Structure 1
Amino acid sequence: MPPPPALPLGPDGYPAAGGVERRTAGTAESVRANRGWWDAAAPAYLAEHGDDLGDVDFLWCPEGLREAEAHLLGDVAGRRVLEVGCGSAPCARWLRRAGADVVALDLSAGMLARAAGLGRATGIGVPLLQADVGALPLAGASFDVVCSAFGGLPFVADVEGALAEVARVLRPGGRVAASVNHPFRWPLPDSPDPDDLCVVSSYFDRRPYVETDGEGGTVYVEHHRTVGDWVRAVVGAGLVLDDLVEPEWTPGRTQVWGQWSPARGALVPGTLVLVAHRP
């Protein structure tokens, strides 16, 4: 896969968007755009959120749900775990410290470079793999657990195919848990202010959110699905759905992530966590 072109950055350090639209976007377009966006955005993203993510911690979502309290993955000691969309890999390092045999996967070389550096700094190194979740270069039935903390599935065009790949690499009885944008957030404005809670688009509009550069080239793609779409995708991949977790805002937590905020989180859900297993 050739490297994506370098993206111009805005004053906030993130890739500058020349335009925004809702339209269809396939697998190849989504993979290429999001790989380039995260390569370019890695420094700004980690400067903004790195303290909250931690160097060795497992944060499921902006609401503040952490695996140490949630136990969605069960006892990982001695288990082989694949993290999809690891970013700078704080979750993978947390899992490694908990005794898991971890492989951390991400589409972005920029994020994996940060993961490698933090592995050296913390002394908790994990194997890093650059790959697309829709085409995992891994043997079937080779993992006990697959997890993804906002790291992959919202950016995947063919989520059914991605979940089928997850099911393929899971051993029978293996568990998968993945946090994604709550579908309820899509009809609402991208604002942390509860005064902005008004419906501005259709919940049933499944067209992806697409950002383009000044010449109309795609630089970022995020895909929308309803709750029912997610359930059908999980079941269609041959997995058994065990739980749908809608985290409530952690008391005392003050961090704001985009439209996620304490005030808004007290009123509407922002995250959906899918928990399933391979029978």
Structure 2
Amino acid sequence: MSSSHDIRLWNEVAGQYAEHITGVGDSFYRRLSPLLWKTLGDISGRSVLDLGCGHGWLGEQLRSAGAVVTGIDGSAALLERAARNYPDIHFVEHDLTAGLPQPLQEYHAVVAHMVLMDVPELDNLVQDVRASLVDRGPFVFSILHPSFFSHEPVEDSGERYRRVTGYLDHERRWITSFGGHHHYHRPLSWYFDLLTRHGFTVTALHEPPTLPHHARPESEWTDYERWFATIPTMLAVSCRPAS
């Protein structure tokens, strides 16, 4: 499946995306962070791939922690910003549906933050991630939660909930965020089958509470934000090569 249309869309919205996703204060990163850094441990001098790196801010966090970082993304517009802002990281433009660039490089860890659900074909990519990891290094990724993200909150007789329908259907959905892009919905079991098919063992599954977009003490949250925190709209997974 070609991702040329998806890449064009990301090039078109690169400015809006970069302005909205500003770094470590972002809600999704704050939810990923505990699992990410617990899994990675000390990465000083280690080779780490920031897969689907976008405008490079997460790669810079990895580099600041001592890693030798490579960032790969399909969007030339996002990579232009990344290279300008983070010159100490090696950035590569590449369509992720084709897998990783050849010949494969070796990495001690691979991180893909909020990427995989936006790529239409993942078999080649996950296969290459597995082949590129050395010393049974971790693959840590986060995605929109397949169960809950795409379903609007419902208020009925004073009760709030999310109505989940069509969960098992594979769908391409239009997401209006950042000017618009495609999201590829797949059930959670599909991701686990994908990982095991390509030789990964899952070591952790993290379903963090949904956090407000701007960080502030929980005592300052609205009633709606407190309720929303009980529903995980993203999840994070860590896995390692099975052998």
The interval holding the TM-score normalised by the smaller chain is 0.7 to 0.9
One of 168, 180, 196 as aligned partner of 1:235: 196
Aligned in 2, Cα 1:77/1:44: closer, same or farther, shift over 3 Å? same
1:24 corresponds to which residue?
none
Aligned in 2, Cα 1:95/1:199: closer, same or farther, shift over 3 Å? same
After TM superposition, the structure 1 = structure 2 runs for residues 185-204 of structure 1, keeping only pairs within 5 Å, are 185-186=148-149, 188-189=151-152, 197-199=161-163, 201-204=165-168
Q: Residues of 2 paired with 1:195 and 1:35: CA distance?
A: 40
Q: Residues of 1 paired with 2:41 and 2:10: CA distance?
A: 30
SS, match of residue 66 in structure 1: helix
SS, match of residue 42 in structure 2: coil
Aligned in 2, Cα 1:240/1:200: closer, same or farther, shift over 3 Å? closer
Q: Which amino acid aligns with 1:207?
A: E
One of 69, 76, 80 as aligned partner of 1:113: 80
Aligned in 2, Cα 1:141/1:41: closer, same or farther, shift over 3 Å? closer
One of 25, 37, 46 as aligned partner of 2:18: 46
1:43-80 deviation line (CA, Å, top 9, x unaligned):
11222232xx15xx8x6826544259842322211111
Q: Residues of 2 paired with 1:220 and 1:75: CA distance?
A: 35
Structure 1 vs Structure 2 CA RMSD: 3.0
1:61 corresponds to which residue?
28
Q: TM-score, normalised by structure 2?
A: 0.81
1:148 corresponds to which residue?
112
After TM superposition, the structure 1 = structure 2 runs for residues 92-103 of structure 1, keeping only pairs within 5 Å, are 92-103=59-70
Contact 2:48 2:70 in 1 (8 A): yes
2:215 corresponds to which residue?
253
Q: Comparing 71-80 with 84-93, which one deviates more in the overlay?
A: 71-80
Q: TM-score, normalised by structure 1?
A: 0.72
Query: Structure 1 residue 104 and structure 2 residue 71: aligned?
Result: yes
- Structure 1: give runs of 5+ residues left out of the alignment: 1-26, 212-218, 255-260
- What is the identity percentage for the equivalent residue pairs of Structure 1 and Structure 2? 23
Q: Which amino acid aligns with 1:223?
A: Y
1:126 corresponds to which residue?
89
Number of corresponding residues: 228
Aligned in 2, Cα 1:133/1:276: closer, same or farther, shift over 3 Å? same
Contact 2:35 2:236 in 1 (8 A): no
SS, match of residue 248 in structure 1: coil
Contact 1:81 1:145 in 2 (8 A): yes
Q: Which amino acid aligns with 1:197?
A: Y
1:8-67 deviation line (CA, Å, top 9, x unaligned):
xxxxxxxxxxxxxxxxxxx20xx11221111111111222232xx15xx8x682654425
Contact 1:33 1:220 in 2 (8 A): no
